[in-house]
Amino acid sequence: MWNQKPCFRFEIDNLSEKKAVISSKTFVTGGCEWYLDIYPKGDRLANGHLSMYLSVANSTKLRTGWKRSVNYYFVLLNQSDKELHRSPIGQGVNLYCASHPSWGFGKVLPVSKFQEKGFLEKDKLIIEVYIKVIEAFDGEEVSNNKKNKTVDINGFQVFASQVTKVGKIFTDHPDIALDVKPTKQEVKTAYMHVLLRVIKTLNKPPKSLSDTRLNKASSDLSELMDVGFKLDWLKLKFDEVSLERKKADDTNESRAQRLEKRAKKLELMELDFKLDSLNRKKADDTKESLDKEVEKRAAQIELGFNRRLNKKLGDLERKRSYDTSVFDSQIKQIEGHVMGLGLKLDSLNTKLEEMSKEKKKADDDADVTLVQELKNLELMVSDIKVELDKKKNISSDDGFLLVD
């Protein structure tokens, strides 16, 4: 469970005027001493971003094997306590130890963001840090014999295990400590330990170094040079390592960009698939709704048609019944008329037969009359011939010749 109150609140005035690293005072939480390092313009690897780190205080004075397992996060506020930024929370446990006494964030916010109008109030930045110490081990007590067993190399008291490394440094760079300002042996020894730690960090493969370790090495290197160590050669080494690390970062970034581009493409494909599925579902729903509407409309039309059809059939049935009765009446009338005509025809046939008989009889009588008349004419002609013959005879007798 995180504490609702910050473990430490650090206020920075005139932020835009700050350039060098800003270190807070030491504060205690979870039984451990801490301090903050803030880089207003970013450290060497921040690329124009504000950087901030949480560090263990007096780490060189702790016992051998000390360690701190810690979770932490930062909150950035303006003068009105309006939250400007909150770092990620609970991204794993950070293990502080002699080789890693500092952890933090190299890129918090772009420096240009703080220059935007209205972002900060009166150029004041407030940083709150929330710390949860999960485990703290103070290390083992070193016996006086081991503790006092040191060797002096060019004015620096170093442990026997460090003699070879320190001796090589002075052999390769004899003037490295000529201008060192601190004179107290304890302080000089502490700085030598810091120098050995920086060299150890820079001798590791660049790809294996995190931003935090490089930032810490850069901070330590600057501090060593500020107190008089001549470390141009080591600074050159740091620049080379940083460049190699940057190339690796660029390669990884390029690969990350490709992966991100591919991921976006896959996301777009998934989105297109979802949209297509949604459109198909919508079309199916629309089609189903349309089909239902068509079915409903067809049912209504069919119902109306059936009603009209039944009405028409009823009308036709009634009309057919009426027409049948009228037709039957007309048939009966026609049949009656036909029967009447049949009777009349029979009567006419009877009359015709009678007339035929009468005509035949008349004809027969006429023929008899005609024959009689012809006979009478024949008789008359015969009589006339006879008379003529008589006249001829008479004429001949009178001296006339009649020519026929």
Q: How far apart are CA 260 and CA 209, in angstroms?
A: 24
Q: Which helix (H) or strand (E) holds 184?
A: none
Q: How far apart are CA 64 and CA 87, in angstroms?
A: 32
**% of the chain surpassing 90 pLDDT:** 21
Per-residue confidence (pLDDT) for residue 319, from 0 to 100: 65
Q: Once rounded to an integer, what is the mean pLDDT over residues 152-167?
A: 85
* pLDDT tens sequence across 58-76: 888 888 888 999 999 999 9
Per-residue confidence (pLDDT) for residue 78, from 0 to 100: 92
171, 170, 150: which is closest to 160 by C-alpha? Answer: 150
In a domain, 11, yes or no: yes
* Number of domains the chain contains: 1
In a domain, 47, yes or no: yes
The radius of gyration of the chain from alpha carbons, rounded to an integer in Å, stands at 70
Q: Tell me the CATH number at 133.
A: 2.60.210.10
In a domain, 245, yes or no: no
18, 10, 3, 12: which is closest to 34 by C-alpha? Answer: 10
pLDDT classification of 321: cutoffs 50, 70, 90: low
Per-residue confidence (pLDDT) for residue 403, from 0 to 100: 45
Q: Once rounded to an integer, what is the mean pLDDT over residues 165-180?
A: 89
- CB-based burial of residue 136 (10 Å sphere; 0-12 exposed, 13-18 middle, 19+ buried)? middle
212, 219, 253: which is closest to 72 by C-alpha? Answer: 212
**% of the chain surpassing 70 pLDDT:** 76
pLDDT classification of 148: cutoffs 50, 70, 90: low
In a domain, 355, yes or no: no
What distances in angstroms separate CA 94 from CA 64, 215, 292, one per listed residue? 19, 16, 64
Q: How far apart are CA 64 and CA 198, in angstroms?
A: 18
Q: Which domain holds residue 113?
A: 1-141
3 state SS of 321: helix
Residue written as token pair 């009105």: 80
Per-residue confidence (pLDDT) for residue 43, from 0 to 100: 77
Strands 27-29 and 83-86, sheet pairing: unpaired
* pLDDT tens sequence across 2-61: 778 899 999 999 998 888 889 999 988 887 889 999 999 887 777 789 999 999 988 888
* pLDDT tens sequence across 349-374: 677 677 777 767 766 666 666 667 66
In a domain, 125, yes or no: yes
Average pLDDT, the chain: 79
Strands 51-56 and 102-105, sheet pairing: antiparallel
Q: What is the pTM for the complete model shown? A: 0.40
In a domain, 217, yes or no: no
- Considering only residues 98 and 325, tell me which one the structure prediction assigns the higher pLDDT: 98
pLDDT greater than 50 at residue 402: no
Per-residue confidence (pLDDT) for residue 342, from 0 to 100: 63
Q: Which of 79-88, 198-207, 277-286 has the lowest mean pLDDT?
A: 277-286
Per-residue confidence (pLDDT) for residue 55, from 0 to 100: 93
Q: How far apart are CA 359 and CA 127, in angstroms?
A: 155
In a domain, 219, yes or no: no
In a domain, 385, yes or no: no
Q: Where are the beta strands (DSSP E) in 138-289?
A: 150-153, 156-159
pLDDT classification of 133: cutoffs 50, 70, 90: confident
- Considering only residues 31 and 152, tell me which one the structure prediction assigns the higher pLDDT: 152
Per-residue confidence (pLDDT) for residue 400, from 0 to 100: 44
Planar angle of CA 236, 242, 248, nearest 5 degrees: 140
* pLDDT tens sequence across 93-128: 889 998 889 999 888 999 888 888 888 888 999 999
pLDDT classification of 327: cutoffs 50, 70, 90: low
Per-residue confidence (pLDDT) for residue 404, from 0 to 100: 45
pLDDT classification of 334: cutoffs 50, 70, 90: low
Six token digits for residue 293: 């509407």
pLDDT greater than 50 at residue 401: no
pLDDT greater than 70 at residue 82: yes
Q: Once rounded to an integer, what is the mean pLDDT over residues 308-327?
A: 67
* Highest-scoring range by mean pLDDT, 71-80, 302-311, 337-346: 71-80
